[in-house]
Structure 1
Amino acid sequence: MTHAHHGHSHGPANYGRAFAVGITLNVAFVLLELTSGFLSRSLALVADAGHNASDVLGLLISWGAYVLARRKPSARYTYGLRRSSILASLANAVLLFMAVGALLVEAVRRFGHPEPVAAGTVMWVAAVGIVINAVTAYLFASGSKHDLNLRSAFQHMAADALVSLGVVIAGALIAFTGWLWLDPTISLLVAAVILLGTWGLLRESVNLSLDAVPEGVDPGAIKAYLAALPGVVEVHDLHVWGMSTTETALTVHLVMPRGIPNDTFYTQVQHELHDEFGIEHATLQVEYGGADACRYAPDHVV
């Protein structure tokens, strides 16, 4: 039996700086939105400030997980703390759903009790939000392709930029028409955008938390590859799961009656699993088969 871990990273290494910059910008914007929202009596601004505040907390959680995931293994945490990135993604998704619930309650209440809105203030504050959220999203754009934790930060910021654009449009329409119902209506649209952007994040985070095969990894293709290896007559006890939001692990039993051809077999298989399927940490157990069949041979046995 042998195993290997092939470490590699995607995108810029200094995401710690990206988190620091993004959090600073968004804290400043939250304070600006809250102040302007209360002065202008705009639910859209106050609600969006609350949403952005939850994003600041989300960025803090993601940053903490980003740091913890890079800690070395210990005698107690033999895989290190890589899984913290999965927990952070799940926490961010839940946090956003809670924010949506609060937003929906207040929007419904405002429909029954509309209040005047300073449309000009709403427009220029939201315009600032477009810039800040777009810049923050850009900081995580490259890492979002390969890391669910960074993707959660990117999705939040990108969605907020679109939401801020919607607030600008609402402010312009209110100024032109005087229709106060547009304010809570835009708040409902904000909620819809958050839900659409968060559902996939929640689903994938829950799946990774339950040790599901990460999205984009085909266990059937992996099993077919292993079964086609020279000398392999059976593949069983195959397990593929996410060690973190960036690393995938695999364990498998290979039945090879003639034994391993040479020591380079393990190295070749592990490199090919890494290059073809993105498996970072592979553990292979070779068996001779025969009368003493492996108790884990049936697929339904764990």
Structure 2
Amino acid sequence: MTYDSAVHPAPSGHDHIFLGDNHERNERRTWFVIVLTATMMVAEIAAGTVFGSMALVADGWHMSTHAAAMLIAALAYLFARKNARNPRFTFGTGKLGDLAAFASAVILALIALLIGWESFLRLASPVPISFPQAISVAVIGLAVNLVCAWLLRDDPSHHGHGHHHDHDQPHHNDRHHAHGRDNNLRAAYLHVLADALTSVLAIVALLAAGVYGWLWLDPAMGIVGALVIARWSWGLIHAAGGVLVDYVPADEDLPEEIRSAIEVEGDIIIDLHVWQLGPGHHGAIVSVVSDNPKAPSLYRAKLAHIHDLSHVTVEVEASA
């Protein structure tokens, strides 16, 4: 006996929308941050060109790389929402955010590499610095980045009923389901945070260099910032890449929850597959062998308390 929610939908019908709880809110905020960043970018490049400031021009083009990376996140939100009901996406479009996050993480790693390389060159060959102007640019950039970071923060208290299923799956009722990390939002947030970090380090270095004449501190702080950004990038690559290849993290207890709920009264799970469908949504294929096999609906009922479980296929066989 087998129940597959994708092949045999319940009478009420069902879809495969596995987007995050605050998908549309996150999409709107990402677009707003892009507009804010792009405006600041254009202003810095224009002002730098008019006033002959390479510091302004360089910071403007640096912001453009982050704006481009955040555009990837925004377009992923848009595409996932527009195609949420597209039957060509067998398990929905929930993973598109992780695909975008992976691409953004790679861009973040390249930005860290470029910052590190430029800092190394300046450490080897120091250049004159216009301290008042450079500090003012860094302060303005920091203020913009702090506003953007506030907009892109992932606040668990705002997570609510983002689930769109209508069929009799384990948690398709009025209960809150657990919040899953939105790696796409995390990618945009890290790009803004990287900009903020470089601004903070630049302010500290420029103030110290201006007071004590330590010109080497500015590029040294750049190298420190590059290493920190590279570390963030690796963490995001690991998290988003794991979702893309259906890797179950060591701290994920969903398989154990399923086994503890099913393996009672002589029922044994002989095959179990669990994977992430989108932020806060997981799918599972459960093969059960029993001396006293029951209807698949009874096994699904045993999984009703697992809020992260959004799509289940249950196969039941009698013991040989």
Shorter-chain TM band:
0.7 to 0.9
Following superposition, the deviation at residue 197 of structure 1 comes to 1.8
TM-score by length of 2: 0.77
Query: What's the secondary structure of 1:260's corresponding residue?
Result: coil
Select between 92-101 and 5-14 the one with higher mean Cα deviation.
5-14
Segments of 5+ residues of structure 1 without an aligned counterpart are 291-302
Q: 1:248 to 1:79 in 2, by over 3 A?
A: same
Segments of 5+ residues of structure 2 without an aligned counterpart are 6-15, 157-179
d(CA) in 1 for partners of 2:229 and 2:48? 20
Following superposition, the deviation at residue 236 of structure 1 comes to 2.1
d(CA) in 1 for partners of 2:3 and 2:66? 42
1:221 maps to what in 2?
256
d(CA) in 1 for partners of 2:150 and 2:37? 14
TM-score by length of 1: 0.82
Higher relative contact order (CA 8 A, sep 6+): 2
Query: 1:1-302 to 2 correspondence within 5 Å?
Result: 1-3=2-4, 9-11=20-22, 13-34=24-45, 39-42=52-55, 49-70=60-81, 71-142=83-154, 146-214=181-249, 216-229=251-264, 231-260=265-294, 263=297, 265-274=298-307, 278-290=308-320
Q: Deviations over 1:136-178 (max 9, x none)?
A: 1112213587211111222222332232122111221222123
Following superposition, the deviation at residue 116 of structure 1 comes to 0.6
Following superposition, the deviation at residue 224 of structure 1 comes to 3.2
Q: 1:256 to 1:128 in 2, by over 3 A?
A: same
Following superposition, the deviation at residue 244 of structure 1 comes to 2.8
Query: What's the secondary structure of 2:310's corresponding residue?
Result: strand
Contact 1:235 1:254 in 2 (8 A): yes
Q: 1:241 to 1:46 in 2, by over 3 A?
A: farther
Amino acid at match of 2:248: V
Contact 2:17 2:84 in 1 (8 A): no
Following superposition, the deviation at residue 108 of structure 1 comes to 1.7
Contact 1:41 1:116 in 2 (8 A): no
Root-mean-square deviation (CA, aligned residues, Å) is 2.8
Amino acid at match of 2:232: G
Q: Deviations over 1:10-67 (max 9, x none)?
A: 358422220121001111223344466774444xx66654543222122111111112
Overall identity of the aligned pairs, in %: 28
Following superposition, the deviation at residue 234 of structure 1 comes to 1.1
